[in-house]
Amino acid sequence: MTYMYIRGGILITVDKERRIFKDGGVVIENNRIVKVGKREELDKDYLHHSDIVIDASRKIVMPGLIDLHVHMAQAMIRGMAQYVRLIPWLRDYVWPLQGHYTKEDGRISALLCMIEMIKSGTTTFLEVGISGRYGMEGIAKAVEEIGMRGVLGRHVMDTPGYALEENIIHPGLVESKEYGMKEVIHMYQRWHGKHGRIFIWFAPRTPGAVTIETYKEIVSKARELGIGITMHLAEVKEDLEYFKKKFNCKPVEFCQKIGMLGHNVVLAHVVWVDDEEIKLLAKTGTHVAHCPSSNMKLGSGLTPVAKMIKSGVNVGLGCDGGPSNDNYDMIEEMKIAALGQSLINMDPKALTAEEVIEMATIRGAKALGLDKEIGSIEEGKKADIIIIDYWKPHLTPMLNPITHIVYAAQGQDVDTVIIDGKLIMKNRKILTVDEEKILEEAEKRGLNVVKRTGIKPAINWKIVE
């Protein structure tokens, strides 16, 4: 038996009773949590009998964060799509850039993204849009190597449009339905459930790029394999116009028609929906990924999260992509989520700090069907844990750990990350990959992608060479 003992610190469990230990302790055996309690009680049995003892004094110990909406291939092109709304953002910038990727570009961008996620406290993520050009096999190997817990969503499409805009997806990203479906099944057979950390889902492109027949085929195959589906929905007003004109229905009603609602479905954004649609999401147990930074930056609107949660919808939190956020820092995303709901509801209690932390932990786990394994610090669950150093000017004195995390903490405050019982980061040093080497490779490859496309960043001030 191998024991790791996290000793001391403020322990935020997010367990069923939502307990917070002022001076807590967590004992990990292999990859499972076996003891949770007060430090003084756990010291008796584990202080001198553990293989690894981590001193968490003047620190916060909490569940690892779960990013429910990530585009890893976009990490290498952040800063390249500014001051435009979603459709031109995709058509004129993001898709042409990604359409020039090689598979090695996709792998390096994924590693760059995962390093950033780990260093800001994310332990599990849902990748929502891998295409063949990015090299899904290489991305899965990168997840395996770095040690994260990842759900990899593979794009499926059969027409190159978005909403009412036809033929706007870059040729480098256009694929046949058969190719996408075949790779999902192949990756499922090779990777799904591997190490208990890597999972394969369907991630069909948005309506306008997928026909009803293909959507129904995806739903049927996902049900057969027992895997999930994630899709962007009702992100911008143009989506409403598309559903109204093409199908004479609302976005969530469309999902109901094609069978894409339920416990295995995560819908992203879901900004432009009404009360009846929210009730339908709650009734069917469909999950929502809220991406406030991305929606604000692109001027898309804000998801009615407070109303959704009060109506019984499970809502998680996502950072989205490099050019739309422009980072993968879930601690920052928690703050933006809380502030956004206070603003649109004109009520500072609309979304509490406790609810936001739940969105970033146990609610995210539930959306992925993993809430019995991760999302909280409880005996029997897998050990996905982060340790935040609060001995800093912006977090001291530690008067309220919950609001400090949401409103005052920063991603760089994360000191230690444990995933599946393994130390992945200690004292802010990634232990599983060579961070410096990956940064150098990402710098080189990112510049080359930009050079190949000829797209220039939007900088309004004069650059002196």
Ordered DSSP codes for 59-96? EEEEEPEEEEEEEGGGGGGTTSS-S--HHHHIIIIIHH
**170-188 burial by CB neighbour count: b if 16+ within 10 A, else e?**
bebbbbebeebbebbeebb
pLDDT tens digit sequence for 315-331? 999 999 999 999 999 99
Q: Where in the chain is the domain with CATH 2.30.40.10?
A: 3-63+376-430
Q: Return the structure tokens found at 427.
A: 């004292």
Q: Could you tell me if 94 and 73 are in contact, meaning their C-beta atoms sit under 8 angstroms apart? A: no
Calpha distance 227→185 (Å, rounded): 11
**CATH fold for the domain made of 3-63+376-430:** Urease, subunit C; domain 1 (2.30.40)
Q: CA-CA distance, 192 to 153, in Å (whole number)?
A: 11
Q: What is the pLDDT of residue 465?
A: 87
**How far is Cα 333 from Cα 335, in angstroms, rounded to an integer?**
5
CATH of domain 65-367: 3.20.20.140
**DSSP tag of 404:** I
Q: Measured between alpha carbons, how far is 331 from 314 in angstroms, rounded to an integer?
A: 19
SS3 175: coil
CA 148 distance to own-chain centroid: 12
pLDDT at site 43: 98
Whole-Å CA distances, 307 to 210, 365, 393: 30, 21, 35
Query: Mean pLDDT for the chain?
Result: 98
Lookup: tokens for 434: 């060579």
Residue 330's pLDDT is 99
Q: What is the DSSP string of 11-75?
A: EE---TT--EETTEEEEEETTEEEEEEEHHHHHHHHSSS-SEEEE-TTEEEEEPEEEEEEEGGGG
Residues sharing a CB contact under 8 Å with residue 283, sequence separation 6 or more, in sequence order: none
The rounded average pLDDT for each run of 10 residues, N- to C-terminus, in the chain (465 residues) is 95 99 98 98 96 98 99 98 96 98 99 99 98 98 99 98 96 97 98 98 96 98 99 97 97 98 99 99 99 98 98 99 97 99 98 99 99 99 99 98 99 99 98 99 98 94 93
Q: Are residues 133 and 98 in contact, defined by beta-carbon separation less than 8 angstroms?
A: yes
Q: Where in the chain is the domain with CATH 3.20.20.140?
A: 65-367
Backbone dihedral angles phi then psi of residue 362, each to the nearest 5 degrees: -70, -35
Q: Which helix (H) or strand (E) holds 108?
A: helix 103-119
Angle among Cα 98, 65, 442 to the nearest 5 degrees reads: 30
pLDDT recorded at residue 2: 86
